[in-house]
Amino acid sequence: MKRYFPALAVVLVWCAGAMAAAGADLYRAQTVVTGQGEANRITGFAACLEDVLIKVSGAHKLAGDKRLAAYKSNAKSFVKAFSYRDQFSGKPIRDEQGTRDRPYDLTIDFEEKKIDDILRALGLKPWLSHRPRLAVFVEMENGPRKFVVTADGIQSDLQRDALLAAADKRGIGVVLPSAAALAKSGLEGAKLEAVPSSTLVPLATEQGGELALVGYLAWSDRELGWVTNWRMDWQGRTHVWEIRGVTFDEAFRRGIGGAAQILSDNGDPGGRARR
């Protein structure tokens, strides 16, 4: 059974590392590669090209788009600069794992004009106007265990990191509620879905969140993944979309990506919206 709960806002705290990308940062992406060999680098270029096209346009619907294949096969020609960061920096080289096999963060800056040209060829355009900061409220349920992803709660460390990574990948600034704020407001666990939007939305504005994105994730043994419902109110319409049978990392990417698609006027991720 689908469950939705209203757009929420409580006293919020800033989450470092999730500020909205601006300017050249929109044309930058990062991935993990093994070693610094050219073959892995070319694969990284292709993956990051898709990410940057989505990030710059806000059109999450480009994910997996077959039209990108030709551009991705020639992704090197769109790259302006790239750099590596050794994830094992400072650690000794182990047996059977020299520099060739070590994991690296590959950061790539793409040529802005070339990315814009690709988007135009795809019938899209760069989303360079103001990007609203999202107050994100995510409730997770796995059997008897229920919790809200917070800015500082220990039990949601992994989910918080994944959510912030999703926001950075899509170029969206986010804020999360602190555990103390939730406790003080009595908004813990499933209680969130019972709080009237009319009471909570103004608080999001006061604390820096320009609008609320609300997600409910429930683990499904049958689908071997999370069943996720997302909801966001924007310009007098309520947008609702669902993802089934995915990891929470993917659920967060699609949640943030879906919000970006709505805000950038690239369509409703759920194919529908209601007033």
The number of residues in the chain equals 275
CB-side neighbour CA atoms (13 Å) of 146? 11
Structural tokens at position 193: 């879905």
Q: Sign of the CA dihedral 35, 36, 37, 43? A: positive
Residue 177 confidence (pLDDT) = 83
CA 127 to chain CA centroid, nearest Å: 16
Residue 212 confidence (pLDDT) = 85
Residue 78 confidence (pLDDT) = 98
For residues 101 and 44, give the distance between their C-alpha atoms in angstroms, rounded to a whole number: 15
Residue 202 confidence (pLDDT) = 59
Which pTM value belongs to this model? Answer: 0.85
Residue among 204, 189, 194 at smallest CA distance from 155: 189
Phi-psi region of 49 (alpha: psi -120 to 50; beta: other; left: phi over 0): alpha
Structural tokens at position 176: 């999360």
For residues 190 and 139, give the distance between their C-alpha atoms in angstroms, rounded to a whole number: 7
Place of tokens 């694969």: 43
Per-residue pLDDT of the chain (275 residues), as tens digits, is 444 444 443 444 444 334 444 455 999 999 999 988 899 999 999 999 999 999 999 999 999 999 999 999 999 999 999 999 988 876 766 655 555 578 999 999 999 999 999 999 999 999 999 999 998 889 899 989 888 898 888 888 999 999 999 999 999 999 888 887 777 766 665 466 556 555 556 556 656 788 889 889 999 999 999 999 998 889 989 899 999 999 999 999 999 999 999 999 999 998 655 55
> What is the rounded end-to-end Cα distance, in angstroms, of the chain?
22
Residue 45 confidence (pLDDT) = 97
CB 201 within 8 A of CB 7: yes
Residue 21 confidence (pLDDT) = 46
Question: In what side-by-side order are the strands of the sheet with 28-34?
Answer: 28-34, 103-110, 79-86
